[in-house]
């Protein structure tokens, strides 16, 4: 049977970001929770088909929201940790 696997689309430099009060209230109002916010540098859009991220901690996250930061040539990603991990295809 076919098995879904993650395929590496690229690598990005990132830093952890703090969630602003607006983002927290928006998440609460939509009855949603997020686990992590990261800022990818030198990127204003995600490549086509990118739906998941695996930061240095090795955990897998679904990209719930991406917001471009045009002043800094970056993009903020709001991530939700996956309960069941996907296999990762060999590069």
Instruction: Name the residue ranges covered by the structural domains of the chain.
Output: 10-83
Residue 58 has pLDDT above 70, yes or no: yes
pLDDT reading at 60 higher than 90: yes
Residue 21: pLDDT band by 50, 70, 90 thresholds?
A: low
Who wins on pLDDT, 71 or 82?
82
- The mean per-residue pLDDT over the stretch 45-64 comes to 89
Q: What pTM value is reported for the model?
A: 0.80
Three-state secondary structure readout of the chain: CCCCEECCCCCCCEEECCCCHHHHHHHHHCCCCCCEEEEEECCCCCCCCCCEECCCCCCCEEEEEEEEEHHHCEEEEEEEECCCCCEECCC
């Amino acid at each position: 049977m076919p098995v879904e696997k993650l395929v590496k689309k690229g690598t990005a430099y990132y830093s952890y970001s703090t969630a602003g009060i607006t983002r927290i209230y928006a998440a609460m109002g939509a009855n949603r929770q997020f686990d992590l916010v990261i800022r990818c540098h030198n990127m204003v859009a995600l490549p086509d088909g990118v739906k998941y991220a695996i930061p240095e901690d090795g955990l897998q996250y679904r990209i719930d929201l991406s917001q471009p930061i045009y002043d800094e040539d970056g993009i903020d990603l709001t991530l939700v940790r996956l309960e069941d991990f996907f296999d990762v295809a060999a590069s």
